[in-house]
Structure 1
């Protein structure tokens, strides 16, 4: 049975140094800006330019059209609700979508490379949880799961949580790998963890996280970057592709059968909300609303009632917004989460 569902948005990964949706669009806008002559580059990110050229060869599309797509992305990021929305709008342009997906991959992979969450212990080659992470929602959740539990009990309770991440990054996978092996002093136990860590990425992921080969994953960052990036054209899905490929029944079952649904750093964009089930959930809904106006919170509340409470206004009392960051929401409801898991 699913006891807790956590629906994850960009605000949750921001606690680990990853860009929010707005910051990501700014980075993508700059990345896709080139000065070119005769399909050569005079100014801009040469590595990304080369990546686009390799992509045009692999996917048998015209390079000048890929560059034109990148240029259109760069010119319009300040107008777009999100990069995903922009790719959805231009989903009929294969060349633009390729450029956009590779831009997403490049920016987020560089964010991973620059994040201390993806560092390893120099002597042991094992992932580690840096001290800064103590101020993050995953540490708060880990403390709840680890309280009074053996490693076996920890895994059992972890298996009763479902993570639905609308992010392309792999913060959750990496954090639990490092934290579990470190806390329980059990190096090499990532395979057991993988069997009990339930994560659904509706829009795909940069690359499937390799729990069994941490060092292999690290080597990937320093070599073979273009090959991995080109695979991301298939791994990353737009709104259009996501709604077509996701198992809606699986998503609906996980949410409706849970005791509590938590939205962490979630933007509640209309296209994402369409993936939420149309049936009633059985428990409470807790959500961060950091930076949201009262008007927007009221509108989101109406959408949640329609989407996950069958439109029944009596369930309004089940929805609790908290104007706080993700780590604080987990801390505020720690006793509730402990009770549900016990």
Structure 2
């Protein structure tokens, strides 16, 4: 298990290791889904039929607003044409903040793409096709994470697995939750219900929401992992997605995010892009804030060494609540370790003991 209070901050690159698309591939999927076009006025030739039907449902349910579904279809075509120029779908929606039409179509695209990605990930099991096979995700960070989590933890103590673990994930998917629930059952030979009880002790936060809860969580808006929903369910799941401008600014979730950062002794960034808006969301705003973190590790795959140096300074000066020179001198040059040559699984291989035993 993790010896110190450890915070994992997870980005899109972490989900990529189990087969979810990121960057250009995700934009292409969303663009294809919302690029709704018809021939002869009625035969749909492009776009996702379920998204088209969800937009019809949305308009029909609001007769007093006199909505025209073609306006929404047009917004989808605008999104599809512009996405190649955007950093991400989130950035595009943010650029059009206040435009509810673009926001709704964009969010439907996100929900559809993420559910499709779950269904095509290495974690998905077709109902009735048998049990999940852990060997299917060899090479992904999920396995070393689970190995550290369960090291020296007997089945009698399974409910203590997450005592020293917090997770803040900026992803909309439920891959981490789904994997851990399945893995606990297989490793400890416990029932799905017992695994769900253990999972309730995991502190996992989604600043931008997620595409519904999983059935074992026994909460509203539950949808099976990777389910192919009908248009009504697809529309309902939009409520769980937040944009940059809608992200939580006050309240219990923001307080929980800052509490996790403040109490962390070890911080690990996995597949995280270090975008300004996300770093700001992580940074506690108290003037007297001082982090208790002793070590910080992170992936920065594909980032130049120069940019990694900038991010390192930003972490030291902002997220840790003190200047770089104020970091504990026992860990000089090791306190913040960003690796441009490692992905998530490689980070665990390189720093197994440093992360788990520091």
| TM-score of the pair, normalised by structure 1 | 0.89
Checking the alignment, whether the CA contact within 8 Å between 1:280 and 1:308 is kept in structure 2 is: no
Checking the alignment, whether the CA contact within 8 Å between 2:4 and 2:266 is kept in structure 1 is: no
Match of 1:6 in 2: 8
Match of 1:289 in 2: 300
Q: C-alpha separation between the residues in 2 aligned to 1:187 and 1:32?
A: 40
Checking the alignment, whether the CA contact within 8 Å between 2:26 and 2:113 is kept in structure 1 is: yes
Give 1:41 deviation, angstroms. 4.6
Checking the alignment, whether the CA contact within 8 Å between 1:121 and 1:128 is kept in structure 2 is: no
Match of 1:280 in 2: 290
CA displacement 1:187-246 (0-9 Å, x = unmatched): 222322222222100000001122257xx8549825x52222112221000011114366
Match of 1:75 in 2: 81
Q: How does 1:56-75 map to 2 (within 5 A)?
A: 56-58=59-61, 61-75=67-81
Give 1:8 deviation, angstroms. 0.5
Give 1:2 deviation, angstroms. 7.6
Checking the alignment, whether the CA contact within 8 Å between 1:276 and 1:307 is kept in structure 2 is: no
Query: 1:75 is paired with a residue of what secondary structure?
Result: helix
CA displacement 1:250-297 (0-9 Å, x = unmatched): 211111111111110001111111101244322221110111112221
Query: 1:227 is paired with a residue of what secondary structure?
Result: helix
- Closer, same or farther in 2 for the Cα pair 1:91/1:56, shift >3 Å? farther
- Closer, same or farther in 2 for the Cα pair 1:39/1:85, shift >3 Å? farther
Query: 2:104 is paired with a residue of what secondary structure?
Result: helix
Of 283, 306, 327, 2:345 maps to 327
Checking the alignment, whether the CA contact within 8 Å between 2:35 and 2:46 is kept in structure 1 is: yes
Of residues 157-166 and 298-307 in structure 1, the stretch that sits farther from structure 2 once superposed is: 298-307
Give 1:38 deviation, angstroms. 7.8
Of 190, 197, 220, 2:202 maps to 197
Match of 2:32 in 1: 30
Q: Which runs of 5+ in 1 are unaligned?
A: none
| Alignment RMSD (CA, Å) | 2.6
Of 106, 129, 137, 2:141 maps to 137
Give 1:69 deviation, angstroms. 1.7
- Closer, same or farther in 2 for the Cα pair 1:220/1:328, shift >3 Å? closer
Of 127, 132, 155, 1:128 maps to 132
| TM-score of the pair, normalised by structure 2 | 0.86
Give 1:120 deviation, angstroms. 5.4
- Closer, same or farther in 2 for the Cα pair 1:219/1:112, shift >3 Å? closer
CA displacement 1:51-77 (0-9 Å, x = unmatched): 232233346543122112211111111
Q: C-alpha separation between the residues in 2 aligned to 1:212 and 1:239?
A: 26
Match of 1:156 in 2: 160
Q: How does 1:138-287 map to 2 (within 5 A)?
A: 138-188=142-192, 189-211=194-216, 217-218=223-224, 221-222=227-228, 224-244=229-249, 247-278=253-284, 279-283=289-293, 284-287=295-298
Give 1:123 deviation, angstroms. 6.8
Checking the alignment, whether the CA contact within 8 Å between 2:18 and 2:123 is kept in structure 1 is: yes
Q: C-alpha separation between the residues in 2 aligned to 1:17 and 1:75?
A: 26
Q: Which runs of 5+ in 2 are unaligned?
A: none
CA displacement 1:83-138 (0-9 Å, x = unmatched): 111111112111110000000010111111222412157376xx524422121111
Of residues 319-328 and 275-284 in structure 1, the stretch that sits farther from structure 2 once superposed is: 275-284
Give 1:327 deviation, angstroms. 1.1
